[in-house]
Amino acid sequence: MPSIATSHFYTFVALAAISIILIYSFSFYASTIRIAPEIESLKNILDHVAAKGNELLTLVSTTNSTTNLIVQLPSTIGSREYWIRVRNDSSNAWLEGALGQIRNGETAYRVFFPGKMSTSGYYLGGYGHAILECYMNGSVPQLNLSSLGGSGQ
């Protein structure tokens, strides 16, 4: 009789372990399915803001003027916070962003701008509308991104 009781106990432990593994894998799969549309929404926001930035750059480069544009963006993507910022180095300028909090070095996606320019600023989702400001800084266009609520820059 003792061998039957221990056999049942080991069977129960094995079933519990398999159940835990299955529950974990299903929850991971469900969270992955939920994140996919959020990532696509972030890409669409970056493409939209980059297109508006390109419009401003073209206008400012041809007319040598200063232009501001208010861009309406969602406060969250799904239930998650997001951020976008403009950056540049010596040869490229780009718009980057990710879901969650801003962390240096952790960008999910980038959209590059054509040509050489100087950029600055960021926008945090949920802090009002985004403002794109563009002007000529000497012979180089300057593109700034900030928030109407005052959090960017």
pLDDT in tens, 126-152: 888 999 999 998 889 999 999 886 444
SS3 77: strand
**β-sheet bridge partners, residue 60:** none
Across 4-151, the runs of DSSP E, i.e. the strands, are 67-71, 82-88, 93-99, 109-113, 118-124, 130-137, 140-147
Rounded to 5 degrees, what are φ and ψ at 52? -65, -40
- Residue 73: count of CB within 10 angstroms of its CB: 19
Cβ distance 132 to 82 under 8 Å?
A: no
Q: Which residues pair with 79 in a beta bridge?
A: none
Q: What is the pTM of this model?
A: 0.75
Match 């073209």 to its residue by tokens. Answer: 58
The tokens describing 108, both together, are 């999910």
The string of pLDDT tens digits covering residues 97-134 is 998 887 776 777 899 998 889 999 999 988 889 999 99
